[in-house]
Structure formats: C-alpha cells, structure tokens
Structure 1
Amino acid sequence: MVRQELVARQLDEQITARFPVGRRLRVLDVGLGQGTQALRLARGGHAVTGLESDPAMLAAVEETLAGEPEGIRERVRLVTGDGRETGRHFEPGSFDVVLCHGVLMYVDDPDAMLAGLARVLAPGGLLSLLVRNADALAMRPGLAGDWEGALDAFATTAYTNRLGLRVRADRRETLTATLTAIGVPLHTWYGVRVFTDTAADEAVPPPEPGALDRLLAAEDRAGRTDPYRSVAALLHLCGVRD
C-alpha cells in the first residue's frame, strides 16, 4: 500500500508537469499486475492499455473491472503479452505514458526491453520505471541483523524477493546511461520505501489517528531528499522521450 500510494503521488506530479490539465492520455502499463495504477488512471479519465503475461493477474484485473462503471471499463484494454514484445502489439509512438513497475527485476537483460518501451512512447512522452535499488541491497538484511546477508549483498545485484524468487536489481547510474542511449533521458527520480522496507507484508496501518498520514508524509519527504532516497528499497525513475 505504501509503495502504490507513493508511486501514485510521484506519477501524478510528473503527469501534471508535462501534460495540459484535462488531456486524455494514452497509457500503457507493462506488467500491470493487479492493475492498481492502471485502474486509478482510468478512473481519472485516461485510456489505459494493460499488457500482462500472467493469466491469473489478468483474471484478477478483469474481476475488478467488472465492478467498475461502464465508462471506466470502456477506457481499459487488456492485452495478453510480454513486456519484451511490445513491438508485436503496438505501433511506434502509440502512448503518451508508459509504466513499467516491478518488471525489470525479472528480466536478465533489460536494455532491449527498455528500447522497445521507448519505441512505443510518443515524443515528449513519459516513461515511468519502478526498480529494485541495487545500491541499497545490503540495507534490508543489515537492518534485520543478518550481517552475513548484508556483506554478501555488497558484491551482487541479485537477491531473493519476498515471493522466494531469485531476481535482480538495477543501479541508477546504469539505467541513467541506458535511458539516454534510447532517447528517453532521465528527467527526475525518487526513492520509494526508505523507512518501511523491513515492515512485514501482512502489517496493517497503525491504529492511532493520523499515524498513516504521518508515515506517508515521512516516506514522501525522504523519497525526494538526498541522501535518504539513495538508500530506498525501490527507485522510481521518470524519463522523457526526446
């Protein structure tokens, strides 16, 4: 919940800065998962295409969509496919905004996929990437007192996620160079989950009044402030198409 709320705030900030108020944007969500951001943007009036390879995820989004008003359902198109195959599904320059959140960690070589995302992005369009921060992999085991795990994390970009899968993280410096090379140079970046990365998945919001608002305010501030954002669990990078 913290991740989705922070990313939503940051994404809205970038969309507002780049596009006229009231413009209906063409949005592609690559690996939309449960569709949290896609549905939120559709409710905001935008035309959203979700690309997802997992049938279970697609079924979950379709079930959620079934409970939405007809006008919102009409603004969402779901496509079965892999993020590395955008060229098969979409024409160049088809979208004003492309989201790729929590996907690159499952791709061994992300450069080709990123180039494909850049291809379908219209000039002046926004590319939003959410990735695991390779420069902060030692933080989670270190804060948990796992000193062996922390020491091992300094020498790798691989890690085991909370699903038990062995995946990879990205370095901001490397992605910055890649985005420049594909014509979508980095415009701004944020940290996501600076203070709450070690919270259990099943944790509930603090019960005292206003506590969740204060938590989100602290996370939001840290995600925009050096040096805190550099050690966030996740990085939200926003590039703009030349």
Structure 2
Amino acid sequence: MVDRRRRSVRTALVAEALRVALAGRVRTDPSGGLDIVDLGGGTGGFAVPLAADGHRVTVVDPSPDALASLERRARDEGVSELVRGIQGDAGELPGLAGKASADAVLCHGVLEVVDDPAQALLAMGSVLREGGVLSLLVAQRNAVVLARALAGHLSEARVALQDPDGRWGTNDPMPRRFDEAGITTQLAEAGFLVHTIHGVRTFADLVPAAFVDSEPGAAESLADLERAASEHPAFRAIATQLHILATR
C-alpha cells in the first residue's frame, strides 16, 4: 500500500496548480464559492478539500460504492451541504450536471478509460460557463515506455512506444495513454485554450518507497523536486502524468 506521504507528494502539485487557477476565476456569486464538477471524482480526494475551501462540488462517477464513500467523507469533514454525488459517466455529463453550469471541471485519470475521449472533452466543454477552467490529468506514454524498459521488459517498451494508444500489450490494464502533442491537439479541437502544462510524478514513482517513508524530510524534499521539475520540458516529457489547465 502506498504510504499517505507518498500519495501526498503525487497529488500536491495538482492541488496547488488547481487552487491558483480557481483563485483567478470570477465568481458568479461574489459572496460564495465556485460551482465545480468533478468527473470520475470517486471518493472525493479532490472534491472534499475543494468543498472545505467553500466551493460547491458535484461529483459524477459510475461507481455507487465510491459515491457512498464520498458521502461519508464529506459528512466527516462537515461539508455535506457543498458536495453532491451523482451516478453517471462522461457521456451523460451535460444532462446530469447541466450545460453552462460550472466554473470548473475536473477530469483526473478519466480520459484514459472513456469510450470516446473527443466526445468526453466536448461534453466537459458544454458544462463549463464562458471562461471556465478545465483541470485535466492524463497518463503519459513516455513514462510507461521508460518504466517497462527499466523493468527489463524491452519488447513491451517498444510496443508502447509505437502503439497508437500507448499500450505495452494486450495485458496492459490502461486502455490508452497520451503524449503532450496529441492531448493538446485534442483540446484545441474541442475548443479549449491551454494555459499551463505540468509534469506530475516525474520522480515520485522512481524513488524507493522505503526511502521516502523512513528518511526524515524525504517526502518534503521529493515534493520540492517534483515542483521544481514540473515545468521543465525535458523532465515533463518523462512524467507519469500530465496536468493541463485550460479554459473554454
């Protein structure tokens, strides 16, 4: 099981960048928070902290178990009135959340598994109000090529390098991965303007867990290194994930 400190390193950069983007969003109600839709938000890892910041968050997720956990988590944190869970998926998003209803949409680790990424992006765009923020987190092809090679699976690394969906074989559990050029093109075609791209988990998946767990200050140092490298193109190119902030 991944240690909580290790999970924090993996998500901190995304949370920080998202909060900065949301701070720049003009609020429909100046006295209240923003309206946020979290597609595939599961148990509320992002939704509940955002609600704690005063935002109203609708989580759309296909799993009833995840939504039940979300409800308990929101209740435990005292933000039940700001968090709503709806069972559904990307294709149903406009009907479930409402068109032009959100100041921001989160799509973290979802575009890899939907039936049609292009249609999912269009659906997310339709839910956003003018100038609304999309926070998109996707798995990157380059990272799996490097990971399979370092693990000694050289033929699988070559397959992942050449496969249109960035998969290393038929047993690969990930339906697709993206590269930076491909995902930015898809966003442009869906009418989004990309503002920032960060590399996420550039080092966090490579540094031994035992070191992070046992060495004093290691988790903080790793987080600082991730933050410093996140915008460098050379390091961003090998990050496990890409975090993209765009507006519609």
Where does residue 118 of structure 2 map in the other structure?
Answer: 111
17, 32, 41: which one aligns with 1:32: 41
SS at match of 1:154: helix
CA distance in 1, matches of 2:218, 2:199: 21
Moved more, 135-144 or 91-100: 135-144
Contact map agreement 2:90 2:114 (CA 8 A) in 1? no
Please give the secondary structure, in 1, of the residue aligned with 2:137.
strand
8 A contact 2:48–2:77 mirrored in 1: no
Report deviation, 1:26.
0.5
| CA distance, structure 1, for counterparts of residue 173 and residue 151 of structure 2 | 19
Once residues 174 and 180 of structure 1 are traced to their aligned partners in structure 2, the CA distance between those partners, rounded to angstroms, is 10
User: Which stretch shifts more, 53-62 or 173-182?
Assistant: 173-182
Q: Give the number of aligned pairs.
A: 237
User: SS at the partner of 2:203?
Assistant: coil
Q: Is the 8 A contact 1:51 1:79 kept in 2?
A: yes
TM-score normalised to the size of structure 1?
Answer: 0.89
What is the rounded CA distance, in whole Å, between the counterparts of 2:128 and 2:136 in structure 1? 13
Equivalent residue number for residue 105 of structure 2:
98
For the residue of structure 2 that corresponds to 1:131, the secondary structure is: strand
Q: How does 1:1-12 map to 2 (within 5 A)?
A: 1=7, 2-12=9-19
Write the letter of the residue equivalent to 2:178: D
Secondary structure of the 2:181 match is helix
- Quote the residue 2:223 is aligned against: 216
CA distance in 1, matches of 2:210, 2:111: 26
Q: Kindly indicate whether the alpha-carbon contact (under 8 Å) linking 1:140 and 1:197 is maintained by their aligned counterparts in 2.
A: no
Q: Distance in 2 between matches of 1:211 and 1:203?
A: 10
Could you tell me which amino acid in structure 1 is paired with residue 199 of structure 2? G
Tell me which residue corresponds to 1:195. 203
Question: Matches of 2:211 and 2:87 in 1, distance apart?
Answer: 33
Does 2:50 align with 1:41?
Answer: yes
Q: Which secondary structure does the structure 2 equivalent of 1:111 belong to? A: helix
3-state secondary structure, aligned to 2:233: coil
Any idea what the Cα deviations from partners look like across 1:85-128, whole Å, max 9, x if unmatched? 11221322100010000001112420011100000101111001
> 1:50: which partner in 2?
59
The alignment yields a C-alpha RMSD, in angstroms, of: 2.3
> How far apart, in 2, do the equivalents of 1:35 and 1:206 lie?
25
> What 5-or-longer segments of structure 1 have no aligned partner?
none
Return the match for 1:65 from 66, 74, 89.
74
2:25 touches 2:103 (CA, 8 Å); kept in 1?
no
Local SS of the residue matching 1:103: coil
The reply to whether residue 170 of structure 1 matches residue 192 of structure 2 is no
Q: Counterparts of 1:27 and 1:227 in 2: how far apart (Å)?
A: 32
SS in 1 for 2:156: helix
Judged with a 3 Å threshold, the aligned counterparts in structure 2 of structure 1 residues 43 and 213 are, in CA distance, closer, same or farther, namely same
In 2, distance between residues paired with 1:204 and 1:122?
A: 45
Structure 1 distance, partners of 2:235, 2:131, is 29
Check the 8 A contact 2:156/2:168 in 1, yes or no. Answer: no
Instruction: State whether residues 144 and 198 of structure 1, in contact with CA within 8 Å, keep that contact through their aligned partners in structure 2.
Output: no
| TM-score normalised by the chain length of structure 2 | 0.87
